[in-house]
Structure 1
Amino acid sequence: MASVPADLCHLFDCDRCLLFVMDQEKDYLVARETRVAVTPGSIPGYVALTQQVLDIGDVYDEAQLRDISPELQFQRGPDQRTGYRTRQVLAAPIVDAQGKDLLGVIQLLNPRSGERFSALQRECLQALCETLAVALAARQSPRFAATGGAKPARVHSAADADAAAALADKIITEACRLDASDIHIEPHTARGISVLRLRRDGALLPYAEAALDLHGALVARLKAMCGLPTVAAGHPVEGKLLFREFSQLDVELRATFIPSAGGMEDVVLHLLSSGAPMPLERLGMAPAAQDQLRAAIDTTHGLFLLCGPAGSGRTTALHSLLLQLERPDAKVWTIEEPVEILQPAARQVPVQRETGTDFAAALRAVLHADPDQVAIGDMRDSETAALAIEAALNGRMVLGCLPTASSTDTISRLHEMGSERFAMADALLGVLALRLAKRLCEHCKLAYQPGEAELELLLAEYSEELQKTDAWRADPRAAKVRIVNGWRERHGDARGGFTLYRPVGCSACSKGYKGRIGLHELLVPGEHTRQLVRERATAPQLRNAALAEGLRTLKMDGIEKILAGLTDVKAVRGAL
């Protein structure tokens, strides 16, 4: 059955074929490359419910989809991730001989001729579905079963190379389809299973379980795909997996293999960002903050820092700034661990600690290589920080990342690392703190008008740090009025009211959230803040000075995005 899609591509002369099989609960259609709910919102789901052949000339033509059904949508995520462009789709149901039970759906994509699927091809596909119905009806339960809920489905299979290869392909393609950032494979010897989990929108969620006797073969398969020795090394091993060598999906993954209890190995696969760097305007910054950021880095030298915990979007923002700074007469170097986003205009240096090339060593070398701009993926040690500040004062544009919590904490961290305070005050252009919050699903979010109590709560959270400033203490009521008037100007309706949104859940998102949105805190030091840097002021002193100079905190930016209808209070609190 695994060779059927390839055979059908050859038979119908099309780019791709997906053979969906109905799961045991009859809630989902499962294919090797994807999995969709049986709802009218997707093409396979619509075919399953109507049991009709569907022939669509252009799946990106929303008017054409609405003519078929108002709920019908084409999920563009896999196309956007892989760069493949789906145009035409011919889909047909696989129904048992009695015409009662739906067994699956076949979906053909993009005739290679570029012409529409012909009437003869549609008839042939229907006839083929009748034949496949016999095979599927006699087929045993699927070897692999996936779940998107909290209770994982058990996966039963023999521990052989073919099963491991199929499972490895399935996990990675499913992670791509679901826009997961990481895949975790965790053996549990006491329970006799291997647990598979996916990190989606920042949360690590159950995906499936596999029989423990398959775990060793799966680890060996993944190591082989990375070009690593398949035997257990007895120590952590890292590698890079180019999935395009094994599939039509053009995806790169960073693999980490770590010995764990019971002589087993845990595996974490991190899906690396693909494509070009993200333009600055797509980071989701407020227009005023974006303009302020552009002005801050509109120079040939200085130090600009990005901060936030792992998974906060630092690397994405770093490359967005490099793209903003790009000019043809500049020599650009980046130092990263690892290199995740390819920057065409830059020379990118991966840190290789096993050979003695850490961030400081790489930076020393780069500073002797005539740089105009340098981007440093991690500045957490004192030597790297000192070199970066010195380079910024010597006419280089330096961008650096630190794992600190806020913009002002970043300055305090540099003080703690022994950075020379006068040099730092002169070199510093600004600090951008980042977080990622869950974004409400645009397909199902539910609008409502907040009451006075909810708005008062938002105002209290928004002004929590502002209440420590002199301006607030001088006239709290006037300060509150200024904030609310600003909200109304930016987010209010014609009557001055607000519309907020709640998560619902649909076939596109399952739980009401889809994707993430950036929260930003941009500190561009004014003269008072810069003087406090020279005086090695405490973090609270720096914070109050920055707030007085107009700093919008991460929480403030999150509340602005709640009022803009992009997220909700729960998601913002979860990100901070």
Structure 2
Amino acid sequence: MATGLRAQQALINLKADSAVEMVATLVQRAVETRATDIHLEPRRNGYQIRYRVDGFLYIVAEIDENMGREIVSRIKILADMDITERRLPQDGHFRFSTPTAEYDMRIATVPTHFGERMEIRLAEGGKVFSSVEDLGMSEADVEIVNSFVANPHGIVLATGPVGSGKTSTLYSCISRIDRDSVNVMTIEDPIEYIIPGANQIEVNYRVDFDFVNGLRAILRQDPNVILVGEIRDEETARIAIRAGMTGMLVFSTLHANHAVGAVTTLFNFNISRFLIANALVGAMAQRLVRKVCPECQASVKPNDAAARALGVKKEQMKNWNMVRGEGCEECFFTGYRGRTGIFEIFQVTPEIRTLIMNGATEAELQAETQAQGMTSLRKSGMEKVKSGMTTVEEVVRVLGQ
């Protein structure tokens, strides 16, 4: 893994006169580096500060214990948290403004052996969602996803591990819907971004308001389109499937390695094959890969190792536009800047529906979908390498050999 940000000797200078200035510098620099998270971590001899950029954590500062505590206390004040309570986890949030945008800072603390650890999640307020076309899908996949969104009812699922961009993809899908003419409602944990024209609800476990209770409440609000942040259990799955069967279009996420795995996961939640076959419109599996920095990219020649990693012959790669990033100030010496998605779009066709009802295995469903032209995650990643958008190493990192 690239050392990246660690190579910048003076990335952030926190030797300010006050905690107020230190926090402002810390957050402002995080915004400038496109960080999604800030980690303040107590260590034996002080605090370590790390930014998460494009999915990777980088050390950006190491400060003494007193300075670390001052920063933590200042942020707790901003987030309306109890600064005297260091024995229990706490949550809070505050707003941070820059000349170009406003950010919602979500704060979570937890006591550790060396002191109070703090995690800060940065979410840009008023963010304009990427269009489906800009997520990284092929033209054929965009057409299929648009057909999902055009359905009047059913359930559409996004699958993948935590942090793979599932929620952003569903937000992009919902942004295509005319929210003035239909009732769009969401139940989320937490609300990531505000969707103009949608009625968004956040779960609150402290008062026993979870996905199940939230979804039941939504069904009494005359919804047309529902976004369920995640299907985690049998009851949520059952209510979501029933909603999709009774005239509503439901979007949700669940954990499955591949798009076809959505069928297996629903079946493991004790949803009948009949209901799955008739409610499921399709599923989108996805991962995020880092894009090669355009400022420092250089051409590379195909080699045997790269061919083996992607499962192709070296001769097939001779016309590929393969590149890698050399590392520069623009990408903080990582060789990468930004991320894009690789996708596997599973559409429930009449043939697939019949297979599901007849008890087909996941392998049989996978074989049929690929026979119908579905692009696998690996092939999607291969196309990104071929076009010079990412590297073989990134695809292997995300998908394995």
Specify if TM > 0.5. Answer: yes
Cα distance between partner residues in 1 of 2:335 and 2:49: 23
Deviation of 1:151 (Å): 8.8
Counterpart for residue 200 of structure 1 = 53
Q: 1:457 aligns with which of 308, 320, 338?
A: 308
Q: Output the amino acid matched with 2:389.
A: L
- Give me the TM-score of the superposition, normalised by structure 2: 0.91
SS in structure 1 at match of 2:320: coil
1:498 and 2:320 correspond:
yes
SS in structure 1 at match of 2:299: strand
Q: Output the amino acid matched with 1:377.
A: G
Rate the CA distance shift 1:194–1:461 in 2: closer, same or farther, 3 A.
farther
Q: Which has the larger radius of gyration?
A: 1
Cα distance between partner residues in 1 of 2:213 and 2:50: 37
Rate the CA distance shift 1:157–1:329 in 2: closer, same or farther, 3 A.
closer
Counterpart for residue 329 of structure 1 = 181
Counterpart for residue 243 of structure 1 = 96
Counterpart for residue 265 of structure 1 = 116
2:185/2:199 contact within 8 Å kept: yes
SS in structure 2 at match of 1:272: strand
Counterpart for residue 142 of structure 1 = none
Deviation of 1:157 (Å): 7.9
Q: Deviations over 1:182-225 (max 9, x none)?
A: 1000001x2x1100001111111111111012222221111111
SS in structure 2 at match of 1:169: helix
Counterpart for residue 569 of structure 1 = 392
SS in structure 1 at match of 2:311: helix
Counterpart for residue 340 of structure 1 = 192
Higher relative contact order (CA 8 A, sep 6+): 2
Cα distance between partner residues in 2 of 1:186 and 1:439: 29
Deviation of 1:518 (Å): 0.8
1:384 and 2:239 correspond:
no
1:551 and 2:389 correspond:
no
2:14/2:22 contact within 8 Å kept: no
SS in structure 2 at match of 1:498: coil
Matches within 5 A, 1:51-90: none
SS in structure 1 at match of 2:150: coil
SS in structure 2 at match of 1:165: helix
Deviation of 1:243 (Å): 1.1
Cα distance between partner residues in 1 of 2:9 and 2:108: 23
Q: Deviations over 1:295-314 (max 9, x none)?
A: 23322111100111111111
Counterpart for residue 398 of structure 1 = 250
SS in structure 1 at match of 2:5: coil
SS in structure 1 at match of 2:49: strand
Deviation of 1:170 (Å): 1.3
Cα distance between partner residues in 2 of 1:234 and 1:529: 53
Counterpart for residue 282 of structure 2 = 430
Q: 1:231 aligns with which of 58, 80, 84?
A: 84
1:308 and 2:160 correspond:
yes
Cα distance between partner residues in 2 of 1:219 and 1:247: 24
1:360 and 2:212 correspond:
yes
1:512 and 2:363 correspond:
no
Cα distance between partner residues in 2 of 1:459 and 1:255: 40
1:446 and 2:269 correspond:
no
Structure 1 gaps of 5+ residues are 1-146, 463-479, 488-495
Counterpart for residue 214 of structure 1 = 67
Structure 2 gaps of 5+ residues are none
2:137/2:342 contact within 8 Å kept: yes
1:239/1:255 contact within 8 Å kept: yes
Rate the CA distance shift 1:461–1:342 in 2: closer, same or farther, 3 A.
farther
Q: Deviations over 1:537-564 (max 9, x none)?
A: 3332322222222221111100011111
Deviation of 1:261 (Å): 1.2
SS in structure 1 at match of 2:340: strand
Cα distance between partner residues in 2 of 1:249 and 1:293: 30
2:86/2:116 contact within 8 Å kept: no
SS in structure 1 at match of 2:294: coil
Deviation of 1:169 (Å): 1.3
Q: Percent identity?
A: 29
Q: Output the amino acid matched with 1:325.
A: I
2:309/2:396 contact within 8 Å kept: no
1:335/1:351 contact within 8 Å kept: yes
Q: Deviations over 1:477-527 (max 9, x none)?
A: xxx99xx6xx9xxxxxxxx83321122112211221101111111000233
Q: 1:181 aligns with which of 32, 36, 39?
A: 36
Cα distance between partner residues in 1 of 2:327 and 2:249: 45
Q: Deviations over 1:270-289 (max 9, x none)?
A: 11143122221111211111
Cα distance between partner residues in 1 of 2:388 and 2:49: 34
Deviation of 1:148 (Å): 2.5
1:437/1:517 contact within 8 Å kept: yes
Q: 1:533 aligns with which of 356, 375, 395?
A: 356
1:168 and 2:23 correspond:
yes
Rate the CA distance shift 1:426–1:273 in 2: closer, same or farther, 3 A.
farther
SS in structure 2 at match of 1:325: coil
Deviation of 1:163 (Å): 3.1
Rate the CA distance shift 1:221–1:434 in 2: closer, same or farther, 3 A.
same
1:420 and 2:242 correspond:
no
